[in-house]
Structure 1
Amino acid sequence: MANRSYLYSLSNQPTAYADRPETISGLSEWPYGIPFSYRLLMSGNPQLCASLISDGFSGEPEGNKTRLYAISSDFETGFARLNKFFSILNTLVTNEAPQLIAEMKEAIQFLEAHRDRYLLLETIELDTMTESEETKLRACVEDEINNCLLAGAAVDALPDNVIEAGDILKKATQQQSNSQFDAFYGLRLDDDCDDARFDYPLGASQWSDILYFSLWNRAEFDANN
């Protein structure tokens, strides 16, 4: 099984594994990485929060479990940034990437249908590929929070003129310059943007509310504990 990142929409910012939201929906999962679209969606004031996937590691005794972390953020802020980014990209690749254009439209429609107050990004499967200590696992999540903030700042810095913004975006994906736009470096802006051969997927595809981890809401959690 591929180690994945998992994205959800939900109604709270969990403070503990048992702090379950009233509503929660799966949005997407991605093997062996975190695509740019996740980071952009999570850029709305991302905060360290409790993982809802696992309450520590298997076999750990009650009262002495490793604390596992995830990221919570504001849905509307990240969604607005994704809309801006996709609008720029749609103009930039018109008639050149029909599959990407269709995927961006479907992504926005899917997210509109599954919007909630907050977003939850779970990276525990990826983090435990290299770390097992609580402090180091927390540092992995904090590093990802910074990546989300950089993605949001990069999109905010793009001008409102979509043609001008498209020119800046295209150049930034191709050349690293130690600027505010470096969050775009390495992205593909074509129909191969999510090809598994590339290390930095855009994440325009693979939206679904059926994920490997179907997390319990408050009512489901109480009924099973």
Structure 2
Amino acid sequence: MTRQLSNVPTGPGRPRHTGSPSTQRPAREEILDHAARLFAERGFSGTSTREIAEACGIRQASLYYHFAGKPGILAELLELSVRPSLEKVETIERECPTEVPEAALYLLALIDAHTLATVPHNIGKLYRMPDVRSSEVFEEFEPALQELTAAYGRLGADVVSGPVAATVGVSQLGGLLVQVVEVVIRTRSRGDEITCAQAQAIATACLRICGVPEERIARAVVTADELLPRLGEERLAQRNG
């Protein structure tokens, strides 16, 4: 579930330098898009608001009409990499049948992998960057990342096998599962795209790491496919035949 970016119109007296109104994207969306690209290429500290404004073809003052500064832009981009998945957790836990708890973990991993695969300019890698992690923005964002990791641990603990549970704690399990899904970030950093089938394979891998038997995995996939429409994620269902 990718959150739609807010469409805030450009105010009077703040015209763009180039382009025609009929073909331009909303200013706020364009600022986020260009900032995401520049942050990913040059790093957060290596990018200035002037450079973002120039990339958008607007005056620097116009950028400040939409965002208080560079930290506000970063904060919204970080949210885009985590919040769409996190917001589905409650629905996943409510809708998944208790007799197939594996479907819940599969769904979270699948939706999260898809989120990371589709956010612009691979912005999931931003919260891995040292200059981002040392910023005040990351301190405010980190609880959301921890909440998502905790959700992975909680759903994983519901299905983990005895041998795995004996060696890995819940918090460790959550972090491990997050790392599995974040292979999407590393794959995109190499210039490769993540297909729906690959996202499904990543979600299945999360179940295998927990020691879930193959027959339970197969049942979880079928159950998850039935639940995806309720989550607004029909496009992620397995396509057979």
Q: TM-score, normalised by structure 1?
A: 0.28
The structure that is strand-richer by fraction is 1
Higher relative contact order (CA 8 A, sep 6+): 1
Q: Which has the larger radius of gyration?
A: 2
